[in-house]
Structure 1
């Protein structure tokens, strides 16, 4: 590619910190952006002393031809570096997450309170208020998108319903609220904070399918036989009244407690039984069960600091809800594509190119195993069979590695693409229908489905494949940035946790081997860190890296993927702007390389007395 000229520079204001000039009374100083890819920026300011230690925003004005640095100007201060609110603001700005308060123009389109379901609403909807509908969500969830029901039919089959909040009833095409939601694209969940896609009156109240209140829903209802085969499917706008808002743990407890036999519990047991069959069939078709260590923080209710850190435990009920959400998404995808082959908003997951699997193949080979990657089914079967005696966690590690080989799933418009396949789910067609409170894609899918069943009228942009495609590009960008922002938030809170804990000793497994380092996963915390073997302050040990295996030999000791190691974990806060979790090797003991384990805090306190 040849660059012949630059029409417009994609400069934006950058977050970072000011490093003061050593020259006394100087007004020109260098600003270091938080984003390491951006060069330092020279700015002129007389308030440098005040801005030292602050996170600030700076904009670039230009880059003189003979200057090492671009010139810029101070925009605003964000607050003290290291402060929770300040750092959250920085990560939102750096990941381009729209998080300003909703404007009056947006709020003016909210329904007037008190809001009630009208006779006109009831006339065009199916009344499902008598059904034993319930929702199952994580603890503390207030934006409840989905609810379920299951009941026996006279012919011996079962009726299962997935009821989704009818957000498109409240957000009409083209108004200020719709444009704002389309721009935001998604709700962003940070640790201890949620940035809503739609105003809270809708997200946590009028659209949220809370228990014991009447709510508008879009329902996907199946007749399913004993083998979990779909006999028939129908879609309808409805009114529901959820009988219970449960957490995954509460739903699991009801299913397991033989003494509970109320309608809600019976419904959950029916759903769970069918979900197990659906999941088994999906996996037989080649759907992948991958793994990633997800972290949950226990937050102090007063200080909002993380006081405990552990990996999330998934229950059977997580899987139960997921199976019916997948089924609804597939059913709706087929319906909107059948009706609108040119402008259906769908979601695909491309198959990874074979080279993506190199690291997975090498890792398996190191344990004398073979992973077949020519299809999703072959990969799924290989992962199921990959076991090492006396090493139960090995299979999880392999699945974490397989996850890293995957491509990103993306939204697309059916009229602009021919490959619809979803590799990870082994489904020929897929979309997102089940979370319209927190994803704008689902609102568009609701509108398409409503037109398909004659429940709503269409509008030009909905049927314009070029506009749909442009919308998909924005949604893909917003989803990617939301993911990065969420990871950055977890990283920051992990740092806060270790800041208060001092140095900890933990066991972990090697995930990757590099030329001068090993990357270690600590299962207890779902945390990854790097142990470097070259240090500026110490003479370097003898290192031999074998890329083929891959292995790293340090002073005669060989490190391979999945080896068990013991490390110390601490927070390196020497660079205020780029604090890092540091890991040092404790075991295996290598002279001049490994460190002594740290003493527990309590023991040290006794010695100090």
Structure 2
């Protein structure tokens, strides 16, 4: 399938223009029509005559049935529906435009991770040529020459393509380097990074040397001269300045977070006196973001590397930072109890009308009071507000402390309150958290009323015994918060922090565009194409829901009403399908991308302007936005000069702290900014996909060594899509997995559910048939019918039916591990599904039981990996010993034949002393 990028050549052909109006893909069928083009190439296509166009099959193929995926639902973070997905919702009469590749305009060859699967040892020994299989199934096999075929068969390695001759079926390439043994965790992780074009390298000496002025100052302290240029939000007791503002600031982050980008504050101000004499409550809301640009000047070595990486990459068991650790985990991270530089946005809000009375942007000095986790902040918020109990003689503070578990427990949850002597500090923190939730709730309500979409989210995480270092035993591989019905209960704190970050991003976008309308980096989310909603509308119609897709506001209102009280999973499926219909959010330059102001909008968030400002430690886009904002404020300064020749030059002297002001002339030209935005879009997408792939890898490792009948492998799923006439797609919320399930496999076997609700696979010659049946108006997804030829009985599968599936692991030598869903029983109603789940699942295991279960379940993953490592080490040592023995023997033989050796000299003496030699000498 080829994506159409320029349809200008068909504008004078009405029949082609009509056919391409509703889709942007052209089908290219077969290797011959592909004409040596590869995935990512820009090609010229010639359309075939209409009578040679065909349909895109929506049946589940063998490859797809072995490839369940982790569900990801952030807007712009998911794969859009495939052509097979959309084909299923396309009327039968519709044809897909088909064509063939005429030529390749530009190649997009990259490094490919490959595996060699031996086929004919004799042929390899004669010619030295082998065919290697790329990890990416979209890439054809590559021919390369090697003398180490036996070694390659055990490893994954990187191959680079050199050419593709016109008469060859395969491209020619060469070996670059080995990644390690197949199946090794490190090997598979590096494979994912390379395949997503995210090769990781250590920070260079030049980049680290640029930070030497900071690293020699241990512990680092704020500069009094710099503090004098900033708004000081610390307490006078800390700053020594009576004029500092004493603002309570704290962070709320995931457990184990090392790079703290953002902190929050909220406090009451003096009320407003209105003209009629009434008073309105006035509140100051603050969002404080790490001042990365002060430490990373434009044009420096660190800046260039951050620009190349564009984002930190978070995998299941590790992360690769965009910035060196000295910045990301120390000087820029807004840890509690230390002074830090920040860029702040402070709003004055009328809490009666919720109007923004004033907004201030600028550089600040802060000292965060607390580093809270989402769970701890939620626990404080969930503690019911109480009044002083005079009868019991306890105050509200004492009751709050008791409900938090007492002083000792509180010190464990919030180390900054360890040994708490003043209960007023705890009450002050509780009050601030409640205020933040109230403000965020109001902001969210207003945004949703304008059309903001509240899409569903299943966040799959890998929890380790030591979350700070993401090491130790793997303790969990399921959604973070799971309740009895397998639905996630998101914490209020997640939404609170997210909403306040959205609020800050929106206001910063407004300020940047106001001053630099042609040089700002914003983020837009285009509306989805109407045909992408076809599947969603058909599925909703299957349950009697009508969705209005005219606008984001009408869509959000329709989704809010599409709720089945008997099966909450119905809403989950509809929200998942809505997310898959979305386009990707994109960074763009406001000066050159030829967009109208209306096209700047963010469809999903229902905001006319949006950008990324709140995470400069891990996103380069935020660094660019900080520079534009600070330049607009006339305060774009960095601690050192940013030009590489000025920073390092030819001198051996390290760079010195020399604050430098950067004016508008240092901002990127619109054209350059546009190129960087395109690079950031590509890297941002790749980072999201590799994160998901990493979680899938760990899930596969988790399930790999479990027995087939292990209850952990068995889960309830809900059908979210019917596919052709051989299967359907199931969403397993328990594990956040979405995958294809066949009722007719590639061998022709048909699944029949017997009276005991178990599946029996009937052979191809049994006469069992599978067909797709629609209503007369084809207004819904129809149903999949399996017919028993002997009894005439029919079993029907419909969207939103529940089935029981087992989670298996497909192990491909060339393509790695993957999850596979297999039908065990079904279909059944939601009520039956809940009853089945209740019968299998204990009500609520104790905390100790949960920990034991998780530890036992996961320990096998690391044990298995360790065993594989030990066996490989022993094999390698044995092979090495054999090789050493052979070398020793060869060396000994060589020394024996050396004329200068003792052995040779000794035999020479013997020959000289022989009788014949003595006679010759005497004569």
TM-score by length of 2: 0.62
Do the aligned residues in 2 keep the contact of 1:502 with 1:571 (CA within 8 Å)?
no
User: Do the aligned partners of residues 90 and 461 (structure 1) sit closer, same or farther apart at CA in structure 2, a change above 3 Å counting?
Assistant: farther
Deviation of 1:22 (Å): 1.2
User: Do the aligned partners of residues 305 and 77 (structure 1) sit closer, same or farther apart at CA in structure 2, a change above 3 Å counting?
Assistant: farther
Asked if 1:535 is matched to 2:745, the reply is: yes
What is the Cα-based RMSD across aligned positions, in Å? Answer: 2.2
| Unmatched segments (≥5 aa) in structure 2 | 1-43, 46-100, 236-246, 272-280, 386-399, 402-425, 482-489, 637-661, 750-762, 788-793, 829-836, 842-852, 857-923
Quick one: distance in 1 between partners of 2:739 and 2:473?
A: 22
1:23 corresponds to which residue? 121
Quick one: distance in 1 between partners of 2:539 and 2:183?
A: 38
**For 1:120, which of 225, 230, 233 is the aligned residue?**
225
1:514 corresponds to which residue? 723
Answer with 1 or 2: which has the greater Rg.
Answer: 2
**For 1:223, which of 335, 343, 348 is the aligned residue?**
348
Asked if 1:440 is matched to 2:620, the reply is: yes
The 3-state SS of whatever aligns with 2:270 is coil
2:445 corresponds to which residue? 280
Deviation of 1:577 (Å): 2.4
Map 1:159-558 onto structure 2 (within 5 A).
159-227=284-352, 228-257=354-383, 258=385, 259=400, 261-299=426-464, 306-313=474-481, 314-416=490-592, 417-418=595-596, 419-456=599-636, 457-460=662-665, 462-503=667-708, 504-515=713-724, 516-537=726-747, 538=749, 539-540=763-764, 541-546=768-773, 548=778, 549-550=780-781, 551-555=783-787, 556-558=794-796
Quick one: distance in 2 between partners of 1:439 and 1:35?
A: 27
Q: C-alpha offsets along residues 14-61 of structure 1, whole Å, 9 cap, x if unaligned?
A: 102012241323422110000111111111111111121211111122
My pick for the range that moved more, 227-236 or 488-497, is 227-236
Deviation of 1:459 (Å): 5.0
The 3-state SS of whatever aligns with 2:739 is strand
Quick one: distance in 2 between partners of 1:402 and 1:113?
A: 52
Deviation of 1:7 (Å): 6.4
| Unmatched segments (≥5 aa) in structure 1 | 591-596, 603-609
1:605 corresponds to which residue? none
The 3-state SS of whatever aligns with 1:280 is helix
Quick one: distance in 2 between partners of 1:174 and 1:589?
A: 61
TM-score by length of 1: 0.93
The 3-state SS of whatever aligns with 2:302 is helix
User: Do the aligned partners of residues 174 and 151 (structure 1) sit closer, same or farther apart at CA in structure 2, a change above 3 Å counting?
Assistant: same
Quick one: distance in 1 between partners of 2:250 and 2:300?
A: 32
1:606 corresponds to which residue? none
2:255 corresponds to which residue? 139
2:139 corresponds to which residue? 38
Quick one: distance in 2 between partners of 1:341 and 1:8?
A: 34
User: Do the aligned partners of residues 256 and 408 (structure 1) sit closer, same or farther apart at CA in structure 2, a change above 3 Å counting?
Assistant: same
Quick one: distance in 2 between partners of 1:395 and 1:536?
A: 32
Higher RCO (Cα < 8 Å, 6 or more apart): 2
The 3-state SS of whatever aligns with 1:78 is strand
The number of aligned residues is: 595
Quick one: distance in 1 between partners of 2:365 and 2:590?
A: 31
User: Do the aligned partners of residues 558 and 377 (structure 1) sit closer, same or farther apart at CA in structure 2, a change above 3 Å counting?
Assistant: same
Q: C-alpha offsets along residues 392-418 of structure 1, whole Å, 9 cap, x if unaligned?
A: 222122111111111100011112322
Deviation of 1:307 (Å): 4.1
Richer in helix (by share): 2
